[in-house]
Amino acid sequence: MSTGIGARVKRKEDKRFTTGKGRYTDDVRVDNQAYACFVRSPMAHAKVTGIDKAAAEAMEGVIAVLDGHQLTGDGIGNLICGWAVSSKDGSPMNMGAWSALATDRVRYVGDAVAIVIAETRQQARDAAEAVEVDYDELPVSVRSDGALESSAEQIHENAPGNLCFDWEIGDEAATDAALAGAAHITELDVVNNRLSPNPMEPRSAVAIYDTAEDHYTLYTTSQNPHVARLVLSAFYNVAPEHKLRVIAPDVGGGFGAKIYIYPEEITCLWASMKTGRSVKWTSDRSEAFLTDCHGRDHITNARMGFDADGKIVGFKVDTKANLGAYMSLFSSATPTYLYATLLSGQYDIQNVYGNVKGVYTNTVPVDAYRGAGRPEATFVVERMMETAARELGMDPAELRRRNFIQSFPHQTPVIMTYDAGDFPGNLEIGQKAADVAGFPARKAEAEARGKLRGLGYSCYIEACGIAPSAAVGSLGAGVGLWESAEVRVNPVGTIEILTGSHSHGQGHETTFAQIVGERFGLPIENVSIVHGDTDKVQFGMGTYGSRSGAVGMSAIVKAMDKVEAKVKKIAAHVLEASEDDIVIEGGEVKVAGTDKAMAWHEVGLAAYTAHNLPEGLEPGLKETAFYDPVNFTFPAGCYIAEVEVDPETGVTEIVQFTAADDFGTIINPMIVEGQVHGGATQGIGQAMLEGVVYDDSGQLITGSYMDYCMPRADDVPFYKIEHNTTICPGNPLGIKGCGEAGAIGTPPAIINAITDAIGNNDLQMPATPLKVWTALQAAKKPMA
């Protein structure tokens, strides 16, 4: 059976995971280990007027109680935001200071004020409760529109009106003029609900300070351990880079929430140095709800203008993005460059303008969550298209078809250059698979059973494979976003791939081995992947923005090119042939057209034993490459949802869901389909079930699974997944990312289907039975 590109190979890593042999950060046990518990603010906004640690310090097992004044006193820096966004008047964003332990003020419930280190986890917890903190309560804002009101209390000294930035993209005057001349305008207010990422494994850190060597090791649940090391050393001043090793072992999901360096990692490292003990902290689920960065939370007004033929003439979007209390690593990029640059969607629109106000509130920071900005853009665009079609009395598929971009490359007015795609093709494949033609009969049949059946489309596009360094650098990113790889052929002919990508559920151990196995004709069992350890892999940018296929694998391909060139030199010498005649075929290195060949172990041995190498060729067989993409990749697709609503209760069932995706070359269809399943399930969660709720005093109401509803098996349908392939011209394998598509494309398809069923476009996520029932009553749509 082929295990190469396109093969449905079962995941190599799953044996480890499904037999309980995965090794996660919380599984790490080290000598001299103590436990940390954080003292957290119960107030959403307050001045800290005093901390009394005496009672806690006196408790059994307590090693130390450390506060923010001690932390800042030791020169530990504030947390940074890695992307500078300017306001439309040219002024820089107003970056509020975020200390890993708060000193004078707390700004959200869960803000850490002190860390307790004790011999056992329970002792640390008990002592944390005994730390007395005096707070002077301040007025609270939890919604971005509320925080902008003139009466709202200012959350950061340098952010008047709680505005972090007032950013724009596109040409406002031209868009206004186009809208003024439109034959029809569709206007919608859209809320993109706030989400909690909920990876299965909560965040965890084990910080080890070696007093003899003056060296730090941090085990952590990170999607990008190298970036963590860089930031911890270069910006937070926790440890010099060469004295800090960061290891992200098996990581049980991240969905974006583990990109950032959180206060806990900084504080545990520092506390380990202060106490001379290894310090372990593992978040419990309540802490995760309170302190893991949330996603989404946009309030948007959108206006789309059409000419008499249904062609879009202009699109204007005004968004207030809730940033939470502080800026985390991508907090500024997510609601701006990752969002508004996709407002053209799949459509040929001449005039697009987006304005985004980034607003501080007394809530946990908001940052990237699966899709990061792109689900928000897709939701606005695709809700507009469906609503406009209904207002214009047109078939929503036909309205889309009239507006699809047809030729590539295509430059949008919001700075993206789409490189390849087949939007009408995706729609056609989706429609066929979903049997859209049979929908009227299914609807009639459902109505006969007393159910309202609706169908909704979502034609999404995303920019991923993040990202060309030059592009993101010019847009304000503090780092380029290339990837590195090293390919090592061992003396016994097996291969190790050292990669800067990090797999935390995406199956890299399998797909990366597939491309190497195919190239060198080796079984994938002979190829192993090394990642997640800054002592083993020199540097890497990690995994997010569906980049590991398009960027990480491209670096591997470049390194394999170099290895192949050296292999040919060695084989040509040993086999006494010309380099030009050497080919890698059938798992051997051969002289083309002859039976002269070397097995891989012979090539490996020749390279390392060094007595039989061409003159001047260095021994060894390992090569490194860095790959910086030329452009983003643009996965796109057509998702079609069919729902049935019970008009008596508002309970909605997704009865059919079809995804037609274009991910370019597919390395492993089974893994890709798994990625779509996972993403679409999270999209269903956002559309119908999930939503973070803070009350007006800033208390988190949805602080457990009793109140925050994740999708369960019986909430999701069987997915029909189809593929349409246009090759991405920007990378050697022609790959587009697939890791976020499901979460991006799904919510609008679901809401478009429900609004179709109930005959009311005014419905916000999550579409709970109560909301659906209420919207249905408002539509006054009696059953047929």
Applying CB under 6 A, does 735 fall inside the site for ligand MCN?
Answer: yes
Burial group, residue 188, by CB count within 10 angstroms (0-12, 13-18, 19+): middle
Burial group, residue 598, by CB count within 10 angstroms (0-12, 13-18, 19+): buried
Among 740, 745, 754, 767, binds ligand MCN (CB under 6 A): 740
Applying CB under 6 A, does 739 fall inside the site for ligand MCN?
Answer: yes
For the bound state, the minimum distance from the C-beta of residue 714 to ligand MCN, rounded and expressed in Å, comes to: 21
For the bound state, the minimum distance from the C-beta of residue 712 to ligand MCN, rounded and expressed in Å, comes to: 17
Dihedral Cα 678, 680, 685, 688, nearest 10 deg: -160
Choice between 458 and 503, CB closer to ligand MCN: 503
Applying CB under 6 A, does 500 fall inside the site for ligand MCN?
Answer: no
Choice between 506 and 761, CB closer to ligand MCN: 506
Applying CB under 6 A, does 508 fall inside the site for ligand MCN?
Answer: yes
Stretch of residues binding ligand MCN (CB under 6 A), selected from 232-240, 303-311, 663-671, 690-698: 663-671
Applying CB under 6 A, does 123 fall inside the site for ligand MCN?
Answer: no
Subset of 178-207 contacting ligand MCN (CB under 6 A): 199
- Could you tell me the CA-to-CA distances from 46 to 41, 43, 274 in Å, in that order? 9, 6, 28
Choice between 607 and 735, CB closer to ligand MCN: 735
Tell me phi and psi for residue 7, to 5 degrees.
Answer: -85, 140
**Cα–Cα distance measured from residue 476 to residue 506, given in angstroms and rounded to the nearest whole number:** 29
Report the number of secondary-structure helices (H) and strands (E) in the chain.
Answer: 20, 28
Paired sense of beta strands 452-461 and 636-645, if any: antiparallel
Kindly write out the interface string for residues 543-572 of this chain, putting x where it contacts ligand MCN by CB under 6 A and - elsewhere.
xxxxxxxx----------------------
> Residue 698: left if φ>0, alpha if ψ -120 to 50, beta else—which one?
left
E-only strand ranges, 432-581: 452-461, 483-489, 495-499, 527-530
From 432, 424, 425, 455, select the one nearest 347 (Cα to Cα).
424
**Cα–Cα distance measured from residue 440 to residue 456, given in angstroms and rounded to the nearest whole number:** 13
Token reading at 73: 């006193």
Kindly write out the interface string for residues 334-373 of this chain, putting x where it contacts ligand MCN by CB under 6 A and - elsewhere.
------------------------------------x---
Choice between 203 and 453, CB closer to ligand MCN: 203
Stretch of residues binding ligand MCN (CB under 6 A), selected from 86-94, 382-390, 478-486, 502-510: 502-510
Among 225, 421, 737, 745, binds ligand MCN (CB under 6 A): 737
**Cα–Cα distance measured from residue 262 to residue 254, given in angstroms and rounded to the nearest whole number:** 14
Token reading at 722: 């189809």
Applying CB under 6 A, does 668 fall inside the site for ligand MCN?
Answer: yes
Applying CB under 6 A, does 507 fall inside the site for ligand MCN?
Answer: yes
> How many of the other CB atoms lie within 10 Å of CB of 192?
26
Applying CB under 6 A, does 274 fall inside the site for ligand MCN?
Answer: no
Stretch of residues binding ligand MCN (CB under 6 A), selected from 269-277, 541-549, 568-576, 621-629: 541-549
**Cα–Cα distance measured from residue 233 to residue 218, given in angstroms and rounded to the nearest whole number:** 12
Choice between 602 and 661, CB closer to ligand MCN: 661
Applying CB under 6 A, does 672 fall inside the site for ligand MCN?
Answer: yes
Applying CB under 6 A, does 461 fall inside the site for ligand MCN?
Answer: no
Q: Is the Cβ–Cβ distance between 501 and 483 less than 8 Å? A: yes
Applying CB under 6 A, does 226 fall inside the site for ligand MCN?
Answer: no
Among 511, 526, 652, 658, binds ligand MCN (CB under 6 A): 511
Write out the DSSP string of 484-515.
Answer: EEEEEE-TTS-EEEEES---SSS-HHHHHHHH
Kindly write out the interface string for residues 250-269 of this chain, putting x where it contacts ligand MCN by CB under 6 A and - elsewhere.
---xxxx-------------
Q: Is the Cβ–Cβ distance between 323 and 365 less than 8 Å? A: yes
Applying CB under 6 A, does 439 fall inside the site for ligand MCN?
Answer: no
In the bound state, the residue with its beta carbon closest to ligand MCN is 505
Task: Note the residues at the interface with ligand MCN (CB under 6 A).
Answer: 199, 253-256, 370, 504-508, 511, 543-550, 663-668, 671-672, 675, 678, 735-740
